[in-house]
């Protein structure tokens, strides 16, 4: 069982949720095109995992205000499953092509450009970028060494030593200003 701290949501604290898309079906045999990769749907177990992620977020009172999502079918289906599991109205959803196959600097730029009004921000993306970004944000979080499996999510919050003004908006979300609060695969 992955490490999981009890979540005690504070509506005045920013939270960043990194979610790797749930398990997807493989691309058609021999088709290594970007189009085939973008069109990969979730598997049955992936759809179930996305629903569990949403239910876990609901149980821990972590409803995203804004979701940044890769345009790939598997990430959009993961996001839809999470929203269904949350059972709430859809937040502000921003499909961001820059998330697809992105490295940490591009992913962090997406986070930093998010609306300042979002207190809970979720980014739905792909590995290895999501895993690398999580490690860069909190290099001391040993639980991330377990691997960022499909359907895994990491919840970050401001580091206790971070200046209060550092996360007045998402531009202040930089390595060592946030720390891992919870890492799980519901």
In angstroms, the CA 114 to CA 171 distance is 8
**Are the C-beta atoms of 121 and 96 separated by less than 8 Å?**
no
DSSP state of 174: -
**Is 74 known to sit in a ligand binding site?**
yes
Pairing of strands 92-95, 66-69: parallel
Binding residues for substrate: 74
Residues annotated within the binding site are 74
């Amino acid at each position: 069982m992955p490490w999981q701290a009890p979540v005690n949501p504070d509506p005045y604290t920013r939270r960043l949720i990194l979610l790797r898309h749930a398990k997807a079906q493989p691309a058609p045999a021999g088709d290594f095109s970007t189009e085939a990769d973008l069109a990969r749907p979730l598997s049955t177990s992936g759809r179930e995992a996305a629903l569990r992620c949403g239910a876990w977020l609901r149980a821990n009172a972590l409803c995203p205000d804004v979701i940044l999502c890769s345009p790939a079918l598997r990430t959009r289906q993961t996001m839809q499953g999470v929203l269904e599991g949350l059972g709430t109205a859809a937040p502000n959803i921003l499909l961001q092509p820059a998330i697809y196959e992105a490295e940490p600097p591009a992913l962090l730029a997406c986070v930093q450009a998010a609306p300042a009004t979002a207190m809970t921000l979720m980014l739905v993306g792909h590995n290895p970028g999501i895993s690398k970004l999580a490690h860069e944000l909190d290099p001391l979080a040993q639980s991330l060494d377990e691997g960022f499996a499909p359907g895994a999510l990491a919840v970050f919050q401001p580091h206790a030593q971070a200046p209060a003004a550092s996360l007045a908006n998402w531009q202040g979300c930089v390595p060592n200003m946030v720390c891992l609060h919870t890492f799980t695969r519901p």
